[in-house]
Amino acid sequence: MKFTELGLSENLLKAIKRSGFEEATPIQAETIPLVLKGNDVIGQAQTGTGKTAAFGLPVLQHIDPKENAIQAVIVSPTRELAIQTQEELFRLGKDQRAKVQVVYGGADIRRQINALKRAPQVLVGTPGRLLDHIRRRTVDLKNVKTVILDEADEMLDMGFVEDIESIIRETPAKRQTLLFSATMPPAILKIGEKFMTDPKIVKIKSKELTTDLVDQFYVRARDFEKFDTMTRILDVQAPELTIVFGRTKRRVDELSKGLEARGYNAKGIHGDLSQQRRMSILKQFKAGKLDILVATDVAARGLDISGVTHVYNYDIPQDPESYVHRIGRTGRAGHHGVSVTFVTPNEMDYLRVIEKLTKKRMEPLKPPTEREAFIGQISSAVDNIEELIKKTDTSMFEKQAEKLMNEYEAVDLVAALLNEMTKDAANEVPVKITPERPLPRRKSKHFNRGGGHYNKKSYSHKDSNSSHKGKKDKNRDKFNRRQKSKRKYTIRSKKD
Does 191 share its domain with 212? no
Identity of the amino acid at 350: Y
488 occurs within a structural domain:
no
Q: Count how many domains the chain has.
A: 2
Instruction: List all residues 6 or more positions away from 362 whose beta carbon is below 8 Å from its beta carbon.
Output: 216, 217, 218, 341, 351, 354, 355
In the sheet with 214-220, reading across from the earlier edge strand, the strands are 266-269, 292-295, 242-245, 310-313, 337-343, 214-220, 363-364
481 occurs within a structural domain:
no
3-class DSSP state of 42: strand
424 occurs within a structural domain:
yes
The pLDDT of residue 490: 40
DSSP 430: -
Does 221 share its domain with 245? yes
Cα–Cα distances in angstroms (integers) from residue 93 to residues 2, 8, 41, 290, in the given order: 19, 12, 21, 30
Does 184 share its domain with 233? no
Q: Say which CATH number the domain at 226 has.
A: 3.40.50.300
Does 138 share its domain with 217? no
Residue (of 4, 134, 148) closest to 62 by Cα position: 148
The CA distance from 472 to 423, in Å, is: 56
479 occurs within a structural domain:
no
**DSSP3 helix / strand / coil % (the chain, rounded to 5):** 50, 15, 35
Range of the structural domain that residue 233 is part of: 208-468
428 occurs within a structural domain:
yes
Residue (of 231, 266, 294, 262) closest to 430 by Cα position: 262
Task: Give the gyration radius of the chain's Cα atoms.
Answer: 29
Does 51 share its domain with 116? yes
144 occurs within a structural domain:
yes
Does 196 share its domain with 103? yes
The CA distance from 152 to 180, in Å, is: 6
In the sheet with 176-181, reading across from the earlier edge strand, the strands are 100-103, 122-125, 72-75, 146-149, 176-181, 41-44, 200-203
Does 328 share its domain with 392? yes
54 occurs within a structural domain:
yes
The residue from 188, 204, 220 where one domain ends is: 204
Does 406 share its domain with 445? yes
Q: What is the pLDDT along the chain (496 residues), one digit of tens a residue?
A: 888 899 999 999 998 888 767 678 888 999 999 999 999 999 987 666 778 899 999 999 999 988 999 999 999 998 888 998 998 899 899 888 899 999 999 889 999 999 999 889 999 999 999 999 999 999 999 999 999 999 888 888 888 989 999 999 999 999 999 999 888 888 888 888 889 999 999 986 644 455 567 899 999 999 999 999 999 999 898 898 999 999 888 999 999 999 999 989 999 998 788 878 888 998 899 888 999 999 987 666 656 677 899 999 999 987 776 788 788 888 766 678 899 999 999 899 889 988 887 788 899 999 888 887 778 777 777 777 787 788 888 888 888 888 888 888 888 877 887 777 676 665 678 888 998 877 776 543 333 333 333 333 333 333 333 344 444 444 555 445 555 444 443 444 333 3
Does 173 share its domain with 313? no
The CA distance from 202 to 31, in Å, is: 7
Does 125 share its domain with 54? yes
Does 242 share its domain with 331? yes
Residue (of 276, 255, 250) closest to 267 by Cα position: 255
485 occurs within a structural domain:
no
pTM of the full structure: 0.54
The CA distance from 9 to 62, in Å, is: 10
Does 437 share its domain with 464? yes
The CA distance from 60 to 143, in Å, is: 15
